[in-house]
Amino acid sequence: MYRRLQWTVISLAGALAHADVNADFQQKFGDTFLEAYWRMNPDAAIVAGYYKVAGELVVPDARSRDEQHQFLKEWLSKLHAVKPESLDAASRSDWVLLDNQLRMELWQLDEQRAWQWSPDTYNVANSFALLLNTEYAPLDQRLRTVLERLAHVPAYYAAAKAAIHNPTREHTRLAIEQNRGALEVFGADLDKQIASSGLNSRERALLTQRIAAARQAIQDYADWLESLDAQLAKNGQARSFRLGRELYQQKFAFANPGGISAEELFHNAQQERLRVLSKMEALADELWPKVVAHAPKPADRFEKIGQVIGKLSNDHVTPDRYVAYVRDLLPQLEGWVTDHHLIALDPTKPLVVRDTPAYERGVSIASIESPGPYDPGARTYLNVLPLDTLPLDQAESFLREYNNWMSPVFIIHEAMPGHYVQLIYANRSPSRIKAVFGNSSTIEGWAVYSERMMLESGYGGNAPERWLMYWKWYLRSVTNTVLDYSVHALRLSEQEAFKLLTQEAFQSEKEATGKWRRVQLSSVQLTSYYAGFSQIYDYRERVRRQQGAHFDLKLFHERFLSYGSAPVPVIVELMSGTCHCNRE
């Protein structure tokens, strides 16, 4: 009895010491580090829903880059003063994430150097738009924050001009377009907000004056870029938009820590393309008599599949009905998820379907707008573009793409149980570090995974039409990976890229044009869909095989999402009860 008591005391003391280490870690990095991080990055803070430093605007000059550098080095050394082996699994994976994040930001400053060659890095509009359109505080308080922030805009653009050196023409033109668009944020709507506010006349005068100066600085920056672009066009020596193999591989590794290499994923995607095309061909053969009927069947596989898809695309609603169609779809998807025990939903966080607000209307037909980790109580919206606001031919081309066979798959991805459900679980995750430094491959991968999982559960009644459309949609993710790597690391030409997208992935001319533009302006991001999906799907299949009859799909999904948006390999280690730190 005595002995046992002593054992109890000893193990209790051990547990307490252990808890202290983890609590210390969370306090130092989950709180103190993040507070300091937001002071260094007020724009990112606003996006995360942290408004304490919203009045600050960092002037992107050499001094601030030095400070950033200093800051990252300092926190890296503080992080490495903690031995990851001493932490529990949850904190250890935070340690891994933070280590990756800090090293990535140093790499961006020192190696990637987009601050030099990517003039679209500089644009003040987004943070101002968020402050003006998010009701996190009364209007007067938000306008005073805007007033404070505006003071730095002219210095901001002066520093931008000084930083830019031999940019790409593609990013230069994007910066011109986006900064001209930014002028809208400082236009008539803002004047109306000021008129309806309780600001005194002195504040109003100062605000009016600073808005004029900001508009002037933005206009001047766009004009300056315009003449720089003309010069680049003339001397023909602009930097290439292609990242090059070495930088690409490094960037990919930061985006997918602990996982697959860029080259490996590229090879997997190429093989996956061929598998998907065989499935599509079999479905096209099956559907041919029903859908195309008497027309002669082409020998060319791409043409045959394309014709069946073309016929199925006729099946869509009218432009004025689309928002209502999506609104009706949601409860149907929710019901399916619950009835088929796929994952627990949170009835206290209803998703609101609305017309995309005018200032956010762009290229996307629907998207989730969700609160950041500091404001998890705020509403989540599913913005849907009101198609009757578009010219008829544009609306028709959207609707042929988002037809009745395709749209449910798309809404599964965006909302139920895709992005919306994942974000609710992520915001609930106890780790603020994981919520803040969310991994794109995990986030996009989950959405792509949820499409497959819903169809596998029988949603859509296993209709061959639905599956064919699903494979077309999924082929897009796979092709994105092939395209991104081929363009940035293997110098794929524009002509070859168009052939890959239109002839071999059934994309419209318009979609392919948009994709070509996107791959010129971004890198690695396009791989996140397939990178995340393939890792999640492979892991699920592994667990299913191991657990056999005991495998519980609902429990698997809930546990997987409970770790927040950590990289898939980190989640896998946590779910298996080990951390990859053990191997180091």
Q: Which residues bind Zn ion (CB under 5 A)?
A: 96, 444, 447, 581, 584
The 3-state DSSP class for residue 33 equals: helix
- For residue 425, the minimal CB distance to Zn ion (Å) is 16
Candidates 396, 273, 359, 372; CA nearest to 38 is 372
Task: Say how far apart CA 189 and CA 360 lie, in whole Å.
Answer: 14
Segment holding 355, helix H or strand E:
strand 351-355
- For residue 584, the minimal CB distance to Zn ion (Å) is 5
- For residue 557, the minimal CB distance to Zn ion (Å) is 17
Q: Which amino acid is at 537?
A: Y
- For residue 284, the minimal CB distance to Zn ion (Å) is 27
8 Å CB contact between 93 and 125: no
- For residue 420, the minimal CB distance to Zn ion (Å) is 11
Give whichever of 43 and 444 is closer to Zn ion, judged by the CB atom. 444
- For residue 95, the minimal CB distance to Zn ion (Å) is 7
Give whichever of 96 and 416 is closer to Zn ion, judged by the CB atom. 96
The 3-state DSSP class for residue 354 equals: strand
8 Å CB contact between 399 and 314: no
Q: How far apart are the first and last CA of the chain?
A: 41
Residue with tokens 């991104």: 484
CA angle, 207 then 210 then 216, to 5°? 140
- For residue 383, the minimal CB distance to Zn ion (Å) is 13
Q: Which amino acid is at 497?
A: A
Give whichever of 447 and 453 is closer to Zn ion, judged by the CB atom. 447
8 Å CB contact between 528 and 444: yes
8 Å CB contact between 566 and 451: no
Give whichever of 211 and 475 is closer to Zn ion, judged by the CB atom. 475
- For residue 21, the minimal CB distance to Zn ion (Å) is 16
Task: Say how far apart CA 558 and CA 446 lie, in whole Å.
Answer: 12
8 Å CB contact between 429 and 563: yes
Task: Say how far apart CA 296 and CA 317 lie, in whole Å.
Answer: 29
Give whichever of 229 and 444 is closer to Zn ion, judged by the CB atom. 444
In degrees and rounded to multiples of 5, residue 352 shows phi and psi of -100, 120
Candidates 575, 576, 567; CA nearest to 442 is 567
DSSP type of residue 381: E
Residues forming beta bridges with residue 168, ordered by sequence position: 239
Give whichever of 42 and 532 is closer to Zn ion, judged by the CB atom. 532
Give whichever of 393 and 584 is closer to Zn ion, judged by the CB atom. 584
Segment holding 549, helix H or strand E:
none
Which residue's CB comes closest to Zn ion?
Answer: 581
Segment holding 26, helix H or strand E:
none
Give whichever of 444 and 451 is closer to Zn ion, judged by the CB atom. 444
Give whichever of 33 and 136 is closer to Zn ion, judged by the CB atom. 33
Task: Say how far apart CA 315 and CA 403 lie, in whole Å.
Answer: 6
| Beta-carbon contacts of residue 230 (< 8 Å; ≥ 6 apart) | none
- For residue 319, the minimal CB distance to Zn ion (Å) is 24
Candidates 120, 139, 228, 135; CA nearest to 181 is 120
Give whichever of 100 and 486 is closer to Zn ion, judged by the CB atom. 100
Give whichever of 83 and 491 is closer to Zn ion, judged by the CB atom. 83
- For residue 99, the minimal CB distance to Zn ion (Å) is 7
Give whichever of 210 and 419 is closer to Zn ion, judged by the CB atom. 419
CA dihedral defined by 118, 487, 518, 404, rounded to 10 degrees? -170
- For residue 341, the minimal CB distance to Zn ion (Å) is 24
Candidates 44, 93, 94; CA nearest to 68 is 44
- For residue 1, the minimal CB distance to Zn ion (Å) is 43
- For residue 581, the minimal CB distance to Zn ion (Å) is 4
Give whichever of 56 and 484 is closer to Zn ion, judged by the CB atom. 484
SS3 for 95-128 is HHHHHHHHHHHHHHHHHHCHHHHCHHHCCCHHHH
- For residue 139, the minimal CB distance to Zn ion (Å) is 32
Give whichever of 190 and 382 is closer to Zn ion, judged by the CB atom. 382
Task: Say how far apart CA 297 and CA 517 lie, in whole Å.
Answer: 34
- Give yes or no for a cis peptide into 417 (omega within 30° of 0): yes
DSSP type of residue 32: I
8 Å CB contact between 160 and 221: yes
Task: Say how far apart CA 340 and CA 325 lie, in whole Å.
Answer: 23
Give whichever of 135 and 584 is closer to Zn ion, judged by the CB atom. 584
- For residue 469, the minimal CB distance to Zn ion (Å) is 17
